[in-house]
Chain A
Amino acid sequence: MSALFRAVLVVLVLFGSAAHAADRLTLGVFAFRPKPIMIERYQPLADYLSEKLGGTPVELAVLEQAELDEAVAAHRVDLVMTNPSHYLELRSHNSLSGALATLVSSEGGQAVSSLGGCIIVRAGRGDITGLRDLRGRRVAISGPRFLGGYQAQAFELMQVGVRVPDQLDLVVVGRHDAVVEAVLEGRADAGFIRTGIIESLVAEGRLDASQLVVLNPQALAGYPFAVSTRLYPEWPFVALPHVDRPTVRRVSAALLGLEASHPAARAAGIAGFSPPLDYLPVETMARTLRLPPFDHAPPFSWRDVWSRYADFIVALGVVSALVVGLLVVLSRRNRQLAHSVAALVEAQRALQHIAWHDALTGLPNRTLLADRLRQDMRRVRRNDEFLALAYIDLDGFKAINDTHGHEVGDRLLVEIARRMRAALRDVDTVARLGGDEFAAIFTDLAAASASEPLIERLLGAIAAPVVIDGLGLQVSGSIGVSYFPQQGDLEAEQLLRQADHAMYAAKLSGRNRCCVFVGEGDEGDERGGAADARPRPSTAA
């Protein structure tokens, strides 16, 4: 083709307006081979269509993919022939009509309306014998938008687990012819080209077929080309929507009527056109590879999620509800348990109180007294201090009890207990040992004598008159005191016995007084144990 022709062509493509009245049609053809070759091949087809359309000239415009995109978008072309994946892409942008026809190519008398991809390596490359061997290899391609020159191969590699393009070192070299050169010259380990290229180059005398090996050859009966992939429908012939219907009908009829023997068909190296094939396989492939126009994930709605994962979501919901339910039950049980524990602790405390206190007066009982006494003894010894233990027996209580009854006796005990408690310091302990017997511990004393005012207060508290139900009642106390520490080791029980002895001495010496245990004798000598029965003046008023 002359340079002039091409210049005219470009002018037509750039400035030609859309053929509204079908006074002229522009046929855009994707240049999958060098433009001069393409023009040589397809000009006769354009001329054939011009002739069949009866006076409506059909101009040929051979365009690179980007040029074709632009021309379609601007309606500068009316008819388009391109590869199927490009067709899908164009269609998604321009709502092209469906294909009018599918190209039927021809090779050695065999008519085929499917194309595929070839994966070629230089002959003698023993290190690349299968698809998986391509991992990490330098692979020449004509461009990622070529169906037979990239996408078909990529899909096949994905099927065997080779991730494309991640796991290939792709190098874009332009058209298919350049891919073959790159492989032959060793600039690439392998190349992707569409079916029929090898056979064309061989026919043109530009390639010796023995120089190349086709990987992953497919066993396809009667398919005249070497092929490495599954087949896809050949190029569609498409009319843009702005072309009027009568013209579309006449173009279709002309295409389907083109015989393989017609010069236009022979020049293009095709056997004509068939009724349009289903382009769904191309779409499936493009979706799988996320190629244009499917390179954007569709917006994901909740409805989609539901329709796809309904079972899972329902199961998840049920499980979640179950977990929440169990958590509620668990927390309720926990709260109940906490209540139970609190009640238990309370009950234990109450039991402990009962175990350690006198039920009538609320004073510590003998057990708690013994415990406190042991603790106090340890402390005063450590602190180099003293404590005094007072054993208290009420004088005249039995008579009151007998005369006025137990109830009055009890109430008297309660009142005297309260007064004794009030008469003592916080650190001191007063306990009821049973009946009308009490004991008091005066602790943390700097000297034994420091207990004396306290004992006086105690005697006073006991001897003060008490009015119960209008009865004026009065008792007194006989108190025996023993001090700690003494010479030698001394147990709490011994100390208590000593105080008990001293108390008897106080009783014997006239009641309402205090006696201090002073004997050094051992326990076996209690009776002989002397008590300093120092008489105390009655504190009774």
Chain B
Amino acid sequence: MAVGIHPWPGYEPLLLARAFGWLPDGVRLREGQTAGDSVAALQAGELDAATLTLDEALAVRASGIALTIVLVFDSSVGADMVMARPSIRALADIAGRRVAVERGAVGEVVLQKLLEAAGLDEAAVTVLDIAPDRQLDAWRAGEIDVAIGYEPFSSLLGREGARRLFDSRQFPGLIFDVLAVRRDRLAAHRAQVEALLAGHFRALAHLRVNREDGLRRIAAWRGLSFDEAERSYAGLNLPDVAGNRSYLDTSGARGILRAARDLNALMLRAGRIKVADDLVGLIDPGFLPHNGGVP
């Protein structure tokens, strides 16, 4: 089973689990640089699953690949952010500025929310399709004024003097990072998906109770300092098994299904999808560990 993954604090427990040998043998993590890499590989049929944001998962579903969400890694409460030149002091100041965002990815949701909050429409800014991993170079080259991104890349911009202008705390409950599995391959990989989730929760527990060890490892492979790694989690809620059950509630009153309905509307408006997702088969909490994730 091939799982696409890219740098993002919420996904690090999977890499931690791999480092400790807690992932099942049949699971291979295929590391890309951005969500776009995972999406392309999904569409090429090379992946069975990928770590994506909820809106990215909906976009892939709209492209004809039925995905089912089996795990919520995190909900973003500040970790998705808009970094700006210090001269930009208020949201309205972005008018006429060059805004870097990864097209087709979660940054679009932030962009929509940013424009909404600033009272502007998209024509008021110059949108440049630059993924977070390339924003540092563009920033240094003076090609952009505003960068919509996420950790750990946003911290790197912060080192260059960028200021946080806006973040996902302004619209909580909309950006979720999830594990999405191709529905047509879910049955064949049932045991592996269960073991993968068990490994994730084991690593998440390690990160909680042995925070220093976990964060120093993550910081080491991301090239961050311990403090930066620690800060990168400041804007995330990482749900345990019980939290996942709540987010993957199939009644749809809250969590993923409610967020998906909101995203449907937002993505239709922005033209990212042509037809609203029917949300059928979108979530399946049946792969979560039964024992609360305690190894």
Contact = CB atoms under 8 A, between A and B. Distances in A.
Contacts of A231: 210, 212-213, 216
A280 B209 CA distance: 7
A221 B229 contact: yes
A223 B209 contact: no
Interface in B191-249: 206, 208-213, 215-221, 224-227, 229
Interface in B1-26: 20-21
A277 B219 CA distance: 20
Contacts of A116: 213
Contacts of A222: 216, 219, 225-227
Given A159-B21, A219-B220, A221-B219, A230 B213 contact: yes
Contacts, number: 57
Interface in B163-217: 206, 208-213, 215-217
Contacts of B216: 220-223, 231
A114 B21 contact: no
Contacts of B213: 114, 116, 220, 230-232, 281
A520 interface: no
Nearest to A281: B210
Contacts of B210: 114, 230-233, 278, 280-281
A112 interface: yes
A218 interface: yes
Contact of B212 (A113, A159, A218): A113
Contact of A221 (B208, B209, B211, B224): B224
Nearest to B222: A221
A221 B225 contact: yes
B234 to A, nearest CB: 17
Nearest to B229: A221
Interface string A278-306: 10110000000000000000000000000
A232 B211 CA distance: 10
A230 B21 CA distance: 13
Nearest to B205: A280
Contacts of A232: 210, 213
Given A221-B224, A222-B219, A280-B210, 13 more contacts: A113-B212, A114-B210, A218-B217, A219-B220, A220-B217, A220-B219, A220-B220, A223-B226, A231-B213, A232-B213, A233-B210, A277-B212, A278-B209
Closest 10 CB pairs of A and B: A221-B219, A220-B216, A231-B213, A219-B220, A222-B226, A221-B220, A114-B212, A281-B210, A280-B209, A278-B209
Contacts of A159: 20-21
B126 to A, nearest CB: 37
Interface string A221-239: 1110000001111000000
Contacts of B21: 159
Contacts of B208: 278
Contacts of A233: 210, 212
A226 to B, nearest CB: 13
24 contacts: A113-B212, A116-B213, A159-B20, A218-B217, A219-B220, A220-B213, A220-B219, A221-B215, A221-B219, A221-B220, A221-B224, A221-B226, A221-B229, A222-B216, A222-B225, A223-B216, A223-B226, A230-B210, A230-B213, A231-B210, A233-B212, A278-B209, A278-B210, A280-B209
B74 to A, nearest CB: 21
Contacts of A223: 216, 226
A223 B226 CA distance: 8
Nearest to B216: A220
Interface of A: 112-114, 116, 159, 218-223, 230-233, 277-278, 280-281
B231 to A, nearest CB: 13
A386 B39 CA distance: 112
Contacts of B226: 221-223
Assign chain B's interface to a size class: 20 to 34
A112 B225 contact: no
Contacts of B218: 221
B208 to A, nearest CB: 8
Contacts of B215: 221
A317 B211 CA distance: 45
Contacts of A230: 20, 210, 213
A218 B212 CA distance: 13
Interface string B86-121: 000000000000000000000000000000000000
A114 to B, nearest CB: 4
Contacts of B225: 221-222
B290 to A, nearest CB: 11
A281 B202 CA distance: 12
A467 to B, nearest CB: 97
A106 to B, nearest CB: 14
A112 B221 contact: no
Nearest to A114: B212
Nearest to A160: B21
B156 to A, nearest CB: 15
Contacts of A220: 213, 216-217, 219-220
A221 B229 CA distance: 9
Interface in B120-149: none
A218 B227 CA distance: 18
A219 B209 contact: no
Contacts of A114: 210, 212-213
A233 B224 CA distance: 22
A113 B211 CA distance: 11
Nearest to A278: B209
B220 A281 contact: no
Nearest to A229: B213
B221 A219 contact: yes
A26 to B, nearest CB: 31
Nearest to A230: B213
A281 B209 contact: yes
Contacts of A113: 212
A114 B229 CA distance: 16
Contacts of A278: 208-211
A114 B20 CA distance: 18
Contacts of B20: 159, 230
Among B206, B211, B216, B218, the one with the most A-chain Cβ atoms within 10 Å of its Cβ is B216
Contacts of B229: 221
Interface in B66-86: none
Contact of A219 (B206, B212, B217, B227): B217
Nearest to A223: B216
Contacts of A277: 211-212
A233 B209 CA distance: 9
A132 to B, nearest CB: 14
A218 B214 CA distance: 11
A112 B212 contact: yes
A231 B226 CA distance: 14
Among A159, A219, A230, A277, the one with the most B-chain Cβ atoms within 10 Å of its Cβ is A230
A184 B215 CA distance: 34
A326 to B, nearest CB: 32
A283 to B, nearest CB: 9
Contacts of B206: 281
Contacts of B224: 221
A219 B219 CA distance: 9
